[in-house]
C-alpha cells in the first residue's frame, strides 16, 4: 500500500483565524480530485440509454458547388438510423444561418455560416450531412457512403491574393473577397513621417495555428418530450450564446432549450464559437426522438474547428536621433476564412495592441480583412494581441540596431512612466470606449525582468560561448494585454436550508480553475470554508444570463460579481443572525457554516438555520424585517478593460549546423493586479508561455495553393512537448486595478503575448555573426538553416 504523504503542501486557510485570507492563497484546486481519479465528466463520458452516435459528411473541396446528395447507400447500412441533409432540416429552420458576428460598422459584406451546406461548400471540412448510427464506427462507415456530387470551383488560399482584382471569388455570389476594411489611427502620421529624421520599414508574416485543446469539440443532445425541452451538453466556452443561437435557428423559446457544459478539456478560444454541429446535433435529437452524441476527432479539429492563421504586415516606424518613436504606420491583410464566425475582432486587437505599452504619439494602421476558402478564423489564446506586440517589439529591435543602441535602452526611452497612470491612450476599443491603461509600473517590471535575467551580464556569456563556437542569444519583449472584457458576468450566491453556499455563475470553466476561484472569492465573505461551497457554471438552466469564457475575463467579471453578491449575502446573514442571537452585527463573524458572537463563541447559529428562517413559514413574519430568501444576484458592470502587463527575457542557443533552437533561460515578470490564487496564476502563465513558444518555433497550419489543408494530424502539426520547454522563471508584481472591486486582472492569455518577439529577438542576437533577420513567425529549423547559409555566403 502507498501512503499519501504529500510534498510542498500549500498553505491551507484556517477559517477561524481572521487573518487567514483566502484571497491570495494558493489553495489546491477543488476540481482536481475527480480529474485525477478518472471521474471527471467530459462530454464523451456521457452515456445514456438509446444514444445514437453522429458522424458528419464534410466537403473535401475548398470550394465546390453541390449538385446532388444521394444518401441511399448510407441508409441501407445496418445500424444506421438516419441521414439528414440541408433539405431534411430546412422545414425546421426559422433561419438557416448562424448570425454570430460581433457588431461593427466596417463590414463590407455578411457571410454567416450555414447549418449544413446547401448548394455551395466554401472550405474543406464544411459539414454537408449528418449520419446517425448505433456506434461511431458504423456512423463513420456510413458517412463515406453518402454520395455528394461536388462540382469543384476555383478556390482562394492566400489572403493577399484574395484581394487581387482578378482573384477567384470565395463565395460565388460575392462582389469581391474584401470582408471588411478599417483604419485605426490617431495623430498626424503623414506630417510626422515626412519630417522624421529616421524612418525604417519592415514587412512581417505572422501565422498562428489552432487551439488544439487536447479534448476536441463534441456535444450530446437529448430531447425530453415530457418537458418539451432539449438539453445540449457541449464542450463550449459560451453556453448562453449557444442557447440563443439554437433558439433563433430552430424557432424555439428559452424554456425549450438548455445548454450545459460538462467538464471541458481546454478551450483556448475556438470553443467560444457556436458551431453548425451543435445545431445539427440538437435538431437531429429532436427529429429522431433519441439522444445523439457527436465527438469531433482530431482531423475534424484541424479542418472544422476555427483557428487563427495569417496576417501580412507592411509597417514603418519614425524615430528621432535618440530612438524615441515619433510614429508608426502601415497596413495589415488579415486572413478571415470563408465565414464570419466571430467578427473582425482579431484584426482589431492586433492593430490596437501595437502601440499599447509605449508612448507612441502618432499611429495609423489600415486593416483589410480578406475572405479565403478556409475554415473561419476566430480567437486562439491571445486573440490577435500577440501579433501586435510582435510588430511593436520587432520595430524597436530594428531601431536599436540602426541607431546602435541597447535594445533595452530603446524600450526604456519609450515606455509609459508610472506617474502617467491611468493613461488614456488615443485608441478606441471595439465597443467605442477609450482605451485607458488602468495601472501598472511598466518600467519597473521591465527592469526587474532584465535584472533577474542578468541582461547586463549577457555580453560576457555570449563572448564565452562564441569562443567555444556556440551561438547563444538573448531577447526581450514587453507587453500589455487588455483583459476582463465586460460588460458583466452574472453570479448568484445562495445559502440553502442545508447551510451550503451555492454559487451559480454565467462563467464557463474550461480548465482554468474557475470553480476554485469563485469558491475562494465567495468563501472569503461567508465563513472561509471551501468545502461548504458548491459552484455551478456553464448551465443556462442555472443562470439566465451569461457571457462565458473568453478574453481572460472570468476572474475579473465573474469574480467581481461573486464578490459583491457574497458581500450582500453576508450583510443579510449578519443582520438576521444579530436578531436570532440577540447581538449586534459588529459582534458577529461567520466561521465555517456558523455565525458566532466572537467574544462568546457558544452563542452561535448555523447558516442553514438562518436560511431556513428566510424561506418563510406561512403566517409568520421574517426575522429582522429583511426580504425573503438568503441569496443575492449581481452583474457588476465593467466597461473598461483591466490591463495586465509584463516583460519576458529569453536566452537561447541556435545550432548553426541544424537550425535547431534550444531555450536556455526564460524569465517572465507579470502584473495581474491582485492575485486570488498565485499557484493557479503560475499555471495559466506557464501554459500561455508554452503556447507562445509553439507559435514561435513549431505550429504551422499549412494549406496548399488550392486551400487544401496539408497539416491535419499531430505528426504534421507540431505542439510543444516537455523536452522543448525550458524551466520557466515566473515572477509577479501586483498593481491592483481600480477598475473592479477585487483589483484583479486577467491572466489566461498573457503568457502567449511576448513570446514570439522575445524569441525572434534572441535568435537574431544569437545569429548576429551571420546577419540573420527574422520577420516572420513561426520560424522552422530548415528556414533558419537557410538563413544561416545565406549569411555565411554574404
Partner 1 sequence: MDSTLSRSISLKINGRAVQATVDVRHTLADFLRHQLELTGTHLGCEHGVCGACTVLVDGRSTRGCLMLAVQANGREVTTVEGIAALDGTLHPLQQAFKDLHGLQCGFCTPGMLTTLVELLGDNPDPTEAEVRVAISGNLCRCTGYQAIVDAALAAAKTMRGTAPAGGVR
Q: Which of residues 393-452 bind partner 1 (CB under 8 A)?
A: none
Q: Output 202 or 297, the one with its CB closest to partner 1.
A: 297
Restricted to residues 739-778, the positions that interact with partner 1 (CB under 8 A) are: 751
Q: Least distance from C-beta 681 to partner 1, angstroms? A: 10
Binding segment (CB under 8 A) for partner 1, from list 187-195, 276-284, 311-319, 682-690: 682-690
Report the alpha-carbon distance of residue 323 to residue 198 in Å, rounded.
9
Cα distance between residue 328 and residue 552, in whole Å: 28
Strand partners, 492: 504, 633
Q: Which stretch binds partner 1 (CB under 8 A): 259-267, 328-336, 462-470, 476-484?
A: 259-267
Candidates 258-266, 367-375, 457-465, 773-781 — which segment interacts with partner 1 by CB under 8 A?
Answer: 258-266
Residue nearer to partner 1 on the CB measure, 51 or 541: 51
Footprint on residues 139-198 left by partner 1 (CB under 8 A): 141
Which CB sits closer to partner 1, 138 or 219?
A: 138
Span near partner 1 by CB under 8 A; candidates 92-100, 151-159, 623-631, 684-692: 684-692
Of positions 11, 19, 36, 165, contacts partner 1 by CB under 8 A: 36
Nearest to 280 by CA among 113, 129, 100, 121: 129
Minimum CB separation of residue 754 from partner 1 in Å reads: 15
**Residue 385: closest CA among 486, 480, 271, 512:** 480
For residue 694, the minimal CB distance to partner 1 (Å) is 9
Number of residues that bind partner 1 (CB under 8 A): 73
**CB-count exposure of residue 151 (10 Å: 0-12, 13-18, 19+):** exposed
Give the C-alpha separation, 333 to 331, whole Å: 7
Residue from 158, 215, 524, 539 touching partner 1 (CB under 8 A): that is 215
Residue 618 lies near partner 1 (rule: CB under 8 A): no
The two beta strands, 631-634 and 491-495, are: antiparallel
Candidates 180-188, 359-367, 511-519, 520-528; binding stretch for partner 1 (CB under 8 A): 511-519
Q: Which is nearer to partner 1, 493 or 508 (CB)?
A: 508
* Contact region with partner 1 (CB under 8 A), list: 150-158, 163-171, 265-273, 781-789: 265-273
Among 69, 449, 680, 753, binds partner 1 (CB under 8 A): 680
Closer residue to partner 1 in complex, CB, 266/546:
266
Distance, in Å, from the CA atom of 677 to the CA atom of 27, rounded to the nearest integer, reads 7
From its phi and psi, is residue 105 left (phi > 0), alpha (psi between -120 and 50) or beta? alpha
CB closer to partner 1, 621 vs 723: 723
SS (H, E, C) 678-690: HHHHHHHHHHHHH
Burial zone of 573 (CB within 10 Å; 0-12 exposed, 13-18 middle, 19+ buried): buried
Contact range with partner 1 by CB under 8 A, out of 123-131, 542-550, 680-688, 733-741 = 680-688
Give 7: exposed, middle or buried? Use CB within 10 Å, 0-12, 13-18, 19+. exposed
Instruction: Out of 88, 120, 158, 263, name the contact with partner 1 by CB under 8 A.
Output: 263
Closest to partner 1 by CB, 35 vs 542, is: 35
Q: Of 4-12, 168-176, 351-359, 420-428, which segment contacts partner 1 by CB under 8 A?
A: 4-12
- Footprint (CB under 8 A) of partner 1, residues 305-364: none
Q: Which of residues 76-135 bind partner 1 (CB under 8 A)?
A: 78, 135
Q: Nearest CA to 782 among 659, 656, 657, 652?
A: 659
Cβ at position 232, least distance to partner 1 in Å = 19
Q: Contact 771/689 with Cβ under 8 angstroms?
A: no
- DSSP class of residue 732 equals E
Residue in 730, 564, 727, 556 with CA at minimum distance from that of residue 644:
556
Rounded least distance, CB 664 to partner 1, Å: 14
**One of 291, 323, 355, 513 touching partner 1 (CB under 8 A):** 513
Identified binder of partner 1 from the candidate list 691, 709, 764, 777, rule CB under 8 A: 691
CB closer to partner 1 out of 1 and 794: 1
Q: Which is nearer to partner 1, 263 or 651 (CB)?
A: 263
- Interface region with partner 1, contact rule CB under 8 A, candidates 1-9, 112-120, 248-256, 421-429: 1-9
Binds partner 1 by CB under 8 A, chosen from 1, 618, 628, 794? 1
8 A C-beta contact, residue 486 and residue 740: no
What are the φ and ψ backbone dihedral angles of 349, each rounded to 5 degrees? -60, -40
Question: Nearest-5° angle of CA 572, CA 573, CA 576?
Answer: 80
**Which of 352, 529, 539, 682 is in the footprint of partner 1 by CB under 8 A?**
682
Among 165, 419, 727, 794, interactor with partner 1 by CB under 8 A: 727
Q: Which stretch binds partner 1 (CB under 8 A): 2-10, 331-339, 585-593, 762-770?
A: 2-10
Q: Is 423 helix (H, G, I), strand (E, B) or coil?
A: strand
Q: Which of residues 581-610 bind partner 1 (CB under 8 A)?
A: none
Among 32, 322, 456, 705, binds partner 1 (CB under 8 A): 32
Smallest gap from residue 509 Cβ to partner 1 (A): 9
- What is the nearest approach in angstroms of partner 1 to the Cβ of residue 591? 26
Query: H/E/C letters for each residue in 760-791?
Result: HHHHHHHCHHHCCCCCEECCCHHHHHHHHHHH
Q: What would the DSSP string read from start to end of 228-279?
A: TEEEEEE--S-HHHHHHHHHHHHT--GGGEEEE--B-S--SSGGGS--HHHH
Q: Which of 146, 216, 246, 605 forms a contact with partner 1 (CB under 8 A)?
A: 216
Report the 10 Å Cβ neighbour count for 413.
Answer: 18
> Using the rule CB under 8 A, which residue among 68, 621, 713, 793 binds partner 1?
713
Listed residue (67, 96, 69, 71) closest to 83, CA to CA = 71
Among 192-200, 331-339, 494-502, 724-732, which window interacts with partner 1 (CB under 8 A)?
Answer: 724-732
Under 8 Å CB-to-CB from 106, ≥6 apart: which residues? 180, 181, 182, 344, 369
DSSP one-letter code for 57: E
What is the residue-wise DSSP string for 161-176? Answer: HHTSTTPPPSSTT-S-
Q: What are phi and psi of 7, to 5 degrees?
A: -120, 145
Q: Give the span between the Cα atoms of 567 and 250, in whole angstroms.
A: 40
Q: Residue 728, interface with partner 1 (CB under 8 A)?
A: yes
Radius of gyration of the chain (CA): 28
Q: Judged by CB under 8 A, does residue 655 bind partner 1? A: no
Determine the Cα angle at 193 with ends 187 and 196, to 5°: 115
Q: How far is CA 221 from CA 53, 230, 426, in A?
A: 11, 7, 47
* Residues from 276 through 305 that contact partner 1 (CB under 8 A): 297-298
Site for partner 1 in 12-31 (CB under 8 A): 28-29, 31
Return the range that interacts with partner 1 (CB under 8 A); candidates 15-23, 321-329, 506-514, 602-610.
Answer: 506-514
Nearer to partner 1, 267 or 327 (CB): 267
Amino acid at each position: 500500500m502507498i501512503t499519501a504523504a504529500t510534498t510542498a503542501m500549500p498553505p491551507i486557510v484556517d477559517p477561524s483565524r481572521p487573518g487567514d485570507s483566502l484571497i491570495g492563497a494558493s489553495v489546491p484546486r477543488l476540481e482536481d480530485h475527480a480529474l485525477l481519479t478518472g471521474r471527471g465528466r467530459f462530454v464523451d463520458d456521457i452515456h445514456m440509454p438509446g444514444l445514437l452516435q453522429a458522424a458528419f459528411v464534410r466537403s473535401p473541396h475548398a470550394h465546390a458547388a453541390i449538385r446532388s446528395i444521394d444518401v441511399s447507400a448510407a441508409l441501407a447500412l445496418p445500424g444506421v438510423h438516419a441521414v439528414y441533409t440541408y433539405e431534411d432540416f430546412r422545414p425546421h429552420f426559422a433561419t438557416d444561418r448562424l448570425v454570430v458576428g460581433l457588431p461593427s460598422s466596417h463590414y463590407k459584406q455578411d457571410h454567416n455560416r450555414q447549418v449544413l451546406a446547401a448548394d455551395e461548400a466554401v472550405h474543406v471540412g464544411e459539414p454537408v450531412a449528418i449520419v446517425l448510427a448505433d456506434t461511431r464506427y458504423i456512423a463513420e462507415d456510413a458517412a463515406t457512403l453518402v454520395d455528394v456530387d461536388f462540382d469543384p470551383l476555383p478556390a482562394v488560399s492566400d489572403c493577399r491574393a484574395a484581394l487581387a482584382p482578378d482573384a477567384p471569388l470565395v463565395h460565388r455570389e460575392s462582389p469581391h473577397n474584401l470582408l471588411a476594411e478599417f483604419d485605426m489611427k490617431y495623430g498626424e502620421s503623414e506630417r510626422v513621417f515626412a519630417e522624421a529624421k529616421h524612418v525604417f520599414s519592415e514587412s512581417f508574416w505572422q501565422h498562428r495555428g489552432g487551439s488544439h485543446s487536447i479534448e476536441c469539440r463534441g456535444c450530446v443532445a437529448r430531447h425530453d418530450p415530457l418537458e418539451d425541452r432539449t438539453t445540449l451538453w457541449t464542450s463550449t466556452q459560451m453556453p448562453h450564446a449557444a442557447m440563443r443561437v439554437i433558439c433563433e435557428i430552430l424557432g424555439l423559446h428559452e424554456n425549450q432549450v438548455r445548454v450545459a457544459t460538462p467538464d471541458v478539456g481546454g478551450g483556448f478560444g475556438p470553443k467560444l464559437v457556436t458551431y453548425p454541429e451543435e445545431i445539427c446535433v440538437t435538431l437531429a435529437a429532436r427529429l429522431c426522438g433519441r439522444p445523439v452524441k457527436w465527438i469531433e476527432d482530431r482531423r475534424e479539429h484541424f479542418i472544422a474547428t476555427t483557428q487563427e492563421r495569417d496576417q501580412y504586415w507592411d509597417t514603418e516606424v519614425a524615430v528621432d536621433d535618440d530612438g524615441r518613436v515619433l510614429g508608426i504606420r502601415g497596413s495589415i491583410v488579415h486572413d478571415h476564412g470563408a465565414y464570419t464566425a466571430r467578427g473582425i475582432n482579431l484584426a482589431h486587437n492586433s492593430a490596437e495592441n501595437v502601440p499599447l505599452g509605449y508612448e507612441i504619439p502618432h499611429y495609423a494602421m489600415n486593416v483589410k480583412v480578406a475572405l479565403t476558402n478556409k475554415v473561419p478564423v476566430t480567437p486562439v489564446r491571445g486573440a490577435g494581441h500577440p501579433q501586435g506586440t510582435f510588430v511593436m517589439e520587432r520595430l524597436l529591435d530594428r531601431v536599436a540596431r540602426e541607431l546602435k543602441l541597447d535594445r533595452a535602452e530603446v524600450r526604456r526611452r519609450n515606455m509609459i512612466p508610472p506617474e502617467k497612470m491611468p493613461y488614456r491612450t488615443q485608441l478606441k476599443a471595439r465597443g467605442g470606449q477609450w482605451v485607458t491603461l488602468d495601472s501598472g509600473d511598466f518600467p519597473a517590471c521591465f527592469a526587474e525582468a532584465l535584472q533577474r535575467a542578468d541582461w547586463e551580464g549577457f555580453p560576457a556569456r555570449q563572448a564565452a560561448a562564441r569562443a567555444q563556437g556556440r551561438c547563444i542569444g538573448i531577447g526581450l519583449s514587453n507587453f500589455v494585454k487588455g483583459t476582463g472584457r465586460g460588460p458583466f458576468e452574472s453570479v448568484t450566491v445562495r445559502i440553502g436550508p442545508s447551510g451550503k453556499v451555492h454559487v451559480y455563475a454565467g462563467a464557463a470553466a474550461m480548465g482554468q480553475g474557475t470553480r476554485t476561484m469563485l469558491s475562494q472569492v465567495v468563501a472569503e465573505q461567508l465563513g472561509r470554508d471551501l468545502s461548504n461551497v458548491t459552484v455551478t457554471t456553464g448551465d443556462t438552466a442555472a443562470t439566465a444570463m451569461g457571457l462565458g469564457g473568453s478574453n481572460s475575463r472570468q476572474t475579473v467579471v465573474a469574480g467581481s460579481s461573486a464578490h459583491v453578491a457574497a458581500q450582500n449575502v453576508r450583510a443579510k446573514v449578519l443582520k438576521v443572525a444579530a436578531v436570532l442571537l440577540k447581538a449586534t452585527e459588529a459582534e458577529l463573524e461567520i466561521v465555517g457554516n456558523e455565525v458566532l458572537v466572537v467574544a462568546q463563541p457558544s452563542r452561535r447559529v448555523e447558516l442553514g438555520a438562518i436560511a431556513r428562517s428566510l424561506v418563510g413559514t406561512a403566517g409568520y413574519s421574517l426575522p429582522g424585517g429583511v426580504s425573503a430568501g438568503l441569496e443575492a444576484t449581481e452583474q457588476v458592470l465593467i466597461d473598461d478593460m483591466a490591463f495586465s502587463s509584463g516583460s519576458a527575457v529569453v536566452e537561447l542557443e541556435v545550432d548553426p549546423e541544424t537550425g535547431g533552437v534550444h531555450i536556455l533561460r526564460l524569465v517572465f515578470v507579470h502584473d495581474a493586479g491582485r492575485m486570488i490564487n498565485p499557484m493557479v496564476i503560475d499555471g495559466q502563465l506557464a501554459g500561455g508561455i508554452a503556447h507562445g513558444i509553439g507559435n514561435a518555433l513549431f505550429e504551422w497550419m499549412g494549406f496548399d495553393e488550392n486551400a487544401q489543408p496539408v497539416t491535419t494530424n499531430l505528426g504534421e502539426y507540431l505542439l510543444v512537448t516537455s523536452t522543448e520547454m525550458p524551466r520557466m522563471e515566473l515572477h509577479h508584481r501586483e498593481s491592483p486595478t481600480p477598475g473592479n472591486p477585487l483589483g484583479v486582472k486577467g491572466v489566461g492569455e498573457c503568457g502567449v503575448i511576448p513570446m514570439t518577439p522575445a524569441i525572434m529577438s534572441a535568435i537574431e542576437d544569437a545569429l548576429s555573426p551571420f546577419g540573420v533577420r527574422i520577420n516572420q513567425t513561426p520560424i522552422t529549423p530548415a528556414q533558419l538553416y537557410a538563413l544561416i547559409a545565406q549569411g555565411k555566403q554574404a
